[in-house]
Amino acid sequence: MKLHSFRRRKGERVLGLEPGLVAGQVDTRRKILHLAWPAIVENLLHTMVGIVDTAMVGRLGAASLAAAGLGNQISMLGLTVFSALATGSTALVARHIGANESSKASDVARQSLVLGLFVSGTVMITFLLTARGLLGVLFSRSEADVLNMASIYVRIVTLAMVLNYFLIVINAILRGAGDTKTPMRITALVNAINIIGNTIFIYGIGPVPALGVSGAAIGTAIAQASGGVMALRVLFRHPVLRVRMTDSFKPDRTVIRRIANIGIPAGAEQGMMRLAQLVYTMIVSSLGTVSYAAHQVALNAESLSFMPGAGFATASTTMVGQNLGAGCPNEAEQSGHVARNLGILVMSIMGVVFVLVPEPIVRIFSSDPEVIQLATVCLRLVAISQPALATWMTLAGGLRGAGDTRAILKIVIVGFVLVRVGLAYLLAIHLGFGLVGAWVAMVVDLFVRGFLIQRRFNRGEWKALKV
């Protein structure tokens, strides 16, 4: 596998894989690490956005924090749709770059923008018109003033939704082309703009009045819109994809259908996971305040392991897609296995830390003795499933790169929906094991999904999949 790759006329190097020489010339492990570490940093930065927003809004009081939280839940519905479509863009761009078909990769990029303009525009109009009613239906037990603040938050953030889609999908396109550093840099700038915007509009500086929750929404919207503009600027100047503003953006049904064929099952997967997670959370919340608090603390602690796994999954997606495009299916399989092994190594180390010293990690998120004690037990439980989680994340990433998103959807239905939710109800509620029972169900789910994704990957049917 040879790093290359594409060069500007003046000799400026652009990250990618040299088609036809993808296999065997540079160590696969090095390439995976090269792609993974910026993705890990990007995931960390995404997490930081939420942490910063929560911390800054939290200073305004419980009602403001609740309003921003509820508003963000609605916004995430739209982002789920965008991320699903972006999956199709990543897989197809990777295929074409690997096959040295930069013009076809450009077609995918353009049609992704066209499709996204329609989808994000539709979502934007829907949220603008129905924000208050939608919040009232989903969170009917919340206080009226909280719902009113949340609806204002949703409407403001929604104004940036089209540009936010461009940010998400262009970053996905760049990853498919083998560039994970540019999305990292854009996300870092978005973070900085978000912090500055929040500071100005939440608390008020100079002539700008303190706007509270509305200010948080304005800061977030400006940051997302700025990110979208930056991403468009990168895409229009990209020397390989060669997307230009003067190009034709007439909808191409064939290309859009290819994106949708991969993206729709990915969207269904995300929707199914969110629905199952909602039911799972309802089970946990029924166990009482302490149990629910411990659950949230343990989840936050485990996210420290999740982020490197997501980075290796991104690398797996890119490498598998590009190797398949280059006509190197065996190297594609090798890439998936190397990403899995690296993910297992890093996440197993985190698992050992969770077993040996869970309490200091848990104390970062809570000072309540009961919460700490229960969260510590949960963190030790989930520690044993870190290799399975790494297997699931990295090989699912590989299958996404191959366009095999339907298989991932089926595995999610079996593991997350049937095993986790069903077993959680049985153990936590019916048999009375409480939160520990719910987390045992989570661990079993991760082992089931890890086993099933490994079996699917090893069977190799994805190598011949036409996308």
Tens digit of pLDDT for each residue in 349-369?
Answer: 999 999 999 999 888 877 788
pLDDT(100) > 70: yes
Distance, in Å, from the CA atom of 332 to the CA atom of 466, rounded to the nearest integer, reads 15
Same domain, 243 and 356: no
- Of residues 433 and 144, more confidence is placed in 433
Same domain, 239 and 280: no
Same domain, 229 and 284: no
pLDDT(428) > 90: yes
Q: With bands split at pLDDT 50, 70 and 90, how would you rate the model's confidence at 314?
A: very high
Number of domains in the chain: 2
In percent, the amount of the chain with pLDDT more than 90 equals 60
Distance, in Å, from the CA atom of 197 to the CA atom of 217, rounded to the nearest integer, reads 9
β-bridge partners, 6: 14
Give per-residue pLDDT as tens, 193-202: 999 999 999 9
Q: Which of 191, 218, 251 is the last residue of a domain?
A: 251
423 assigned to some structural domain: yes
pLDDT(321) > 50: yes
172 assigned to some structural domain: yes
β-bridge partners, 7: 13
260 assigned to some structural domain: no
pLDDT(333) > 80: yes
pLDDT(258) > 70: yes
Same domain, 192 and 294: no
The per-residue pLDDT of the chain, averaged, comes to 88
318 contacts 5 by C-beta, under 8 angstroms: no
Same domain, 437 and 312: yes
Same domain, 370 and 414: yes
H or E element: which one contains 194? Answer: helix 181-203
Beta-carbon neighbour count of residue 121 at 10 Å? 13
Tokens of 187: 């996300």
Same domain, 74 and 212: yes
Domain that includes residue 145, residue range: 36-251
Same domain, 243 and 286: no
Q: Which amino acid is at 260?
A: A
Same domain, 201 and 232: yes
Same domain, 305 and 398: yes
Distance, in Å, from the CA atom of 196 to the CA atom of 264, rounded to the nearest integer, reads 36
353 assigned to some structural domain: yes
Q: With bands split at pLDDT 50, 70 and 90, how would you rate the model's confidence at 8?
A: very low
Distance, in Å, from the CA atom of 160 to the CA atom of 169, rounded to the nearest integer, reads 14
- Out of 20-24, 285-289, 345-349, the most confident range is 345-349
336 assigned to some structural domain: yes
Same domain, 433 and 313: yes
263 assigned to some structural domain: no
pLDDT(303) > 90: no
109 assigned to some structural domain: yes
Q: Which of 251, 282, 311 is the last residue of a domain?
A: 251
User: Residue 2: what pLDDT?
Assistant: 39
Give per-residue pLDDT as tens, 82-93: 888 899 999 999
User: Residue 53: what pLDDT?
Assistant: 75
Lowest mean pLDDT among 151-165, 172-186, 292-306, 428-442: 292-306
48 assigned to some structural domain: yes
User: Residue 320: what pLDDT?
Assistant: 96
pLDDT(205) > 50: yes
